[in-house]
């Protein structure tokens, strides 16, 4: 009897615990701060340079591309080879623009990827090698130098009929640039850290500040500057160790809030709706009118051994048919979520392109409680 009583008590406890858990609110999805924000001043730097690609199999620039000839003659003159520019052929050489991104914390001696793009009228960079090219920043300082064989991933073939795959006038060199100078931004000595939200939102910015204050306690106070900026002071024990501080801050979880927005791409018929979209009471009717015109030609042949001058006669016949789909009226109730909107419009049998017009009409009627953005 005691065993049975214990079993009943245990089952009652399990049922009560299950009811308590079921009654608790379901937590919303949270994301890390590192996924929704960046640090002010910590960014890539753009580099650019002008160079020459050699070793092409007759797919380089044409003879009329003067800047390629000038660059080639200038380079050879620095090597002690002096030529008459009018005698130089550049069909195996192409002038290119080399671009790269310099990461914020990269050090001298590291390697970065570069993209090589044809500047003249070369037909392909396949099989070419980029010669030593200085890469400069906006301040005209050289931060890296690039050189190496180009990977194109495409080709152009054929004489009378051209066959092309991918884009052969643009290639890349993995690790093709050697960093010569690093950018000093003084990150380790910061006294204030400013976070920039990728998607500006007042609610999300406030939650980020609250999460930082809850984690660091009395050591600092994070404030919301605007919808996209959160600033806080570096605690005393983290001075000179801002990297360690950001390792703690960027892992904090924050519930992201998004505005009610419907994005429509009329060119492709693509529609994306956020889960916050709501609508007021509205009735939607949808129907299509189809007019089909068919034209036939009947041929009248003359009889054998008919009268002289008889000829074949072509008689056109035209048939017009009109059909209209039965209109369906669907009522979308107030407060309906995106799921209800989609189900209601699917009941009408609308296509994505029809849905674009319907959403515009709902917005014009003042029933769409959100932003309608057409791109």
Q: pLDDT tens, 228-285? A: 999 999 998 888 889 899 999 999 999 998 888 888 877 777 778 777 777 777 776 6
Which two three-digit tokens encode residue 127?
């099989």
pLDDT of residue 295: 52
The partner residues of 324 in beta bridges, in order of sequence, read: 289
| CA dist list (Å): 22 to 18, 84, 360, 365 | 6, 87, 40, 40
Identify the H or E element spanning 37.
strand 37-39
Closest by alpha carbon to 236, among 220, 223, 215?
220
State how far Cα 230 lies from the chain centre: 25
Contact 114, 132 (CB under 8 A): no
pLDDT of residue 221: 87
pLDDT of residue 331: 57
**Mode of pairing for the β-strands spanning 278-279 and 368-369:** antiparallel
Q: Number of C-alpha atoms within 13 angstroms, CB side, residue 347?
A: 13
pLDDT of residue 337: 61
CB environment 203-242: b (16+ within 10 A), e (fewer)? ebbbbbbebbbeebeeebebebeeebbbebbbeeebeeeb
Handedness of CA 45, 51, 55, 59 (dihedral sign): positive
CATH number for region 187-255: 3.30.1360
In this structure, the number of other CB atoms found within 10 A of the CB of residue 102 comes to 21
Whole-number Å distance between alpha carbons of 150 and 119: 15
Give the length of the chain.
375
Closest by alpha carbon to 249, among 13, 4, 42, 35?
35
pLDDT of residue 119: 93
Whole-number Å distance between alpha carbons of 180 and 132: 13
Q: Number of C-alpha atoms within 13 angstroms, CB side, residue 173?
A: 28
Low-confidence ranges of the chain (pLDDT < 50): 1-27, 160-161, 289-291, 322
- Residues forming CATH 3.30.1360 domain(s) in the chain: 187-255
Which two three-digit tokens encode residue 291?
């007019």
């Amino acid at each position: 009897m005691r065993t049975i009583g214990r079993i009943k008590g245990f089952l009652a406890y399990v049922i009560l615990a299950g009811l308590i858990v079921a009654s608790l609110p379901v937590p919303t999805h949270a994301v890390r701060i590192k996924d929704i924000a960046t640090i002010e001043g910590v960014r890539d730097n753009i580099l650019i340079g002008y160079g020459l690609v050699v070793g092409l199999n007759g797919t380089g620039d044409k003879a009329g591309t003067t800047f390629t000839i000038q660059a080639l003659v200038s380079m050879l003159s620095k090597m002690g080879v002096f030529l008459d520019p009018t005698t130089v052929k550049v069909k195996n050489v192409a002038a290119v623009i080399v671009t790269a991104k310099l990461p914020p914390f990269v050090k001298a001696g590291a390697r970065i990827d570069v993209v090589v793009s044809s500047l003249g009228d070369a037909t392909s960079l396949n099989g070419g090698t980029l010669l030593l090219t200085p890469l400069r920043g906006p301040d005209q300082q050289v931060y890296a130098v690039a050189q190496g064989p180009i990977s194109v991933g495409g080709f152009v073939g054929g004489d009378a009929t051209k066959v092309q795959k991918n884009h052969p006038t643009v290639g890349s060199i993995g690790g093709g640039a050697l960093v010569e100078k690093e950018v000093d931004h003084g990150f380790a000595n910061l006294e204030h850290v400013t976070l920039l939200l990728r998607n500006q939102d007042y609610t999300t910015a406030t939650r980020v500040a609250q999460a930082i204050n809850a984690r660091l306690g009395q050591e600092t106070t994070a404030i919301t500057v605007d919808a996209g900026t959160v600033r806080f002071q570096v605690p005393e024990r983290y001075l000179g160790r801002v990297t360690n501080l950001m390792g703690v801050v960027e892992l904090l979880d924050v519930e992201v809030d998004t505005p009610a927005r419907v994005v429509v791409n009329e060119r492709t018929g693509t529609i994306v709706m956020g889960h916050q979209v709501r609508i007021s009471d509205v009735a939607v009717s949808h129907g299509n009118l189809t007019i089909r015109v068919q034209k036939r030609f009947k041929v009248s042949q003359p009889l054998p051994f008919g009268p002289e001058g008889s000829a074949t006669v072509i008689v056109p016949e035209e048939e017009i048919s009109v059909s209209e789909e039965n209109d369906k009226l669907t009522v979308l109730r107030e407060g309906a979520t995106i799921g209800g909107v989609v189900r209601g419009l699917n009941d009408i049998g609308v296509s994505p392109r029809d849905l674009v017009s319907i959403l515009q009409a709902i917005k014009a009627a003042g029933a769409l409680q959100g932003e309608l953005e057409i791109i």
